[in-house]
């Protein structure tokens, strides 16, 4: 159910992408209580000379950055859970990637259950049918 897009500064690195996909999936399960078997993570890399903060490249700033978005079903997590997740993601990436610009974002996008789904069915439909079992 969660769809996670992680954008990292730097050159493409498949081993790092796999490691961070596991880390982010684990945090998503532990903090937001989401099922790993329906969690999708995509990782992309942007060269530091093409990533700008206040019109300065990360190459010039001599730092790293990331932008993570996670789509979850609306109203399935409390504000406190979301705040913990944002902090946990930042700390995990900081500890793995080293020097990190403070303008590194985590965005939680809450999708309405009737407008979001997988396997051809909405989350709302799945939720209603799972309650009947």
Domain containing residue 25: CATH number: 3.30.429.10
Average pLDDT over residues 57-80: 96
pLDDT number for residue 83: 98
pTM metric for this prediction: 0.92
Selection from 71, 81, 80 nearest residue 107 by Cα = 71
pLDDT number for residue 97: 95
Q: For 52-61, what is each residue's pLDDT tens digit?
A: 999 999 999 9
| Residues in Cβ contact with 104 at an 8 Å cutoff, skipping those fewer than 6 apart | 64, 65, 66, 67, 90, 93
Domain count, the chain: 1
Domain that holds residue 72: 3-131
Average pLDDT, the chain: 95
């Amino acid at each position: 159910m969660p769809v996670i897009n992680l954008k990292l500064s730097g050159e493409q690195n498949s081993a790092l992408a796999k490691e961070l996909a596991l880390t982010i999936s684990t945090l998503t399960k532990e903090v937001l209580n989401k099922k790993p078997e329906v969690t999708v993570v995509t990782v992309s890399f942007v060269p530091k000379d093409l990533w700008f903060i206040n019109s300065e490249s990360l190459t010039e700033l001599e730092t790293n950055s990331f932008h993570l978005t996670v789509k979850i079903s609306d109203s399935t997590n409390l504000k406190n859970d979301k705040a913990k997740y944002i902090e946990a993601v930042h700390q995990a990436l900081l500890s793995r990637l080293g020097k990190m610009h403070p303008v590194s974002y985590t965005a939680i996008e809450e999708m309405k259950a009737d407008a979001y789904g997988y396997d051809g069915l909405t989350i709302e439909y799945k939720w209603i049918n799972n309650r009947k079992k």
